[in-house]
């Protein structure tokens, strides 16, 4: 399975792109604006997180600018009525953090504004995702990661990463490397830094 690719973008159109990785062109399906959000190195190469989707008649690669987007995509396609095409459409119209906020607010209008998402699908999204995207909904909030009823800043960050799909041991290891930043950093920044460490 391919989990990550780093290369030079050759073309981008209609929800797809081609990434040149050491002379091999990989075709990927991706949400709109993925290349603009993806990290680039000094040579202009981008790094994309990849979800490999295997069917009997096809093997399709889906590319994402960061781990949060890939996890959101995987959460979406786990819903029975949502396929990869619909999930890409949702993420093209609503970035991961916006989707989480819409779900948390039960904003059916915003969800039904997405092409291909009707009222029933929007209601299903709210029902299925309300307990699965808690971190994404707060990831943009500037509040500091202070101790709460959920525990210390360390416990809060570990819990956030576990909710995003990481194993507890992986989350603990990443958070351990951020020990000196836990008391003063915002949850947003701490989550981002932990995701970078987990991706290595």
- pTM confidence score: 0.66
Tell me which of 1.10.3720.10, 1.10.1740.10, 2.40.50.140, 2.60.40.10 is the CATH number of domain 4-64. 2.40.50.140
> Looking up tokens 């994309």, which residue turns up?
48
Cα separation, 133 vs 160, in Å, equals 10
Q: What length does the chain have?
A: 200
Tell me which of 3.50.20.10, 1.10.1840.10, 1.10.150.20, 3.30.43.10 is the CATH number of domain 67-136. 1.10.150.20
Please give the pLDDT value at position 192: 75
Cα separation, 35 vs 21, in Å, equals 15
pLDDT tens digit at each of 200 positions of the chain: 788 999 999 887 767 899 999 999 999 999 988 888 888 889 889 999 999 998 888 899 999 998 889 999 999 999 888 889 999 999 988 888 888 888 888 999 999 998 888 999 999 999 888 777 754 444 443 333 333 334 677 888 787 777 666 677 778 888 888 888 887 777 777 877 887 777 66
- Neighbouring residues of 69: CB distance < 8 A, sequence distance ≥ 6: 31, 34, 37, 49, 91, 95, 96
Asked if CATH classification 3.40.50 holds for the domain at 141-199, the reply, yes or no, is: no
Please give the pLDDT value at position 11: 82
């Amino acid at each position: 399975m391919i989990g990550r690719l780093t290369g030079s973008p050759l073309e981008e159109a209609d929800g797809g792109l081609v990434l040149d990785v050491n002379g091999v062109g990989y075709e990927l399906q991706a949400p709109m604006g993925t290349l603009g959000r993806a990290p680039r190195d000094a040579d202009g190469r981008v790094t994309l997180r990849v979800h490999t989707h295997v069917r009997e008649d096809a093997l399709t690669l889906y590319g994402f600018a960061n781990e949060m987007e890939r996890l959101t995509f995987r959460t979406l396609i786990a819903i029975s009525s949502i396929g990869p095409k619909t999930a890409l459409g949702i993420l093209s119209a609503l970035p991961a953090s916006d989707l989480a906020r819409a779900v948390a607010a039960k904003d059916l209008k915003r969800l039904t504004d997405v092409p291909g998402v009707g009222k029933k699908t929007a209601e299903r999204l709210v029902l299925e995702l309300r307990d699965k995207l808690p971190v994404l909904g707060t990831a943009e909030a500037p509040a500091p990661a202070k101790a709460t009823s959920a525990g210390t800043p360390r416990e809060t960050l570990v819990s956030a990463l576990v909710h995003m799909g990481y194993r507890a041991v992986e989350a603990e290891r990443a958070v351990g490397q951020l020990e000196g930043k836990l008391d003063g950093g915002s949850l947003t920044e701490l989550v981002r830094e932990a995701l970078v460490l987990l991706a290595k």
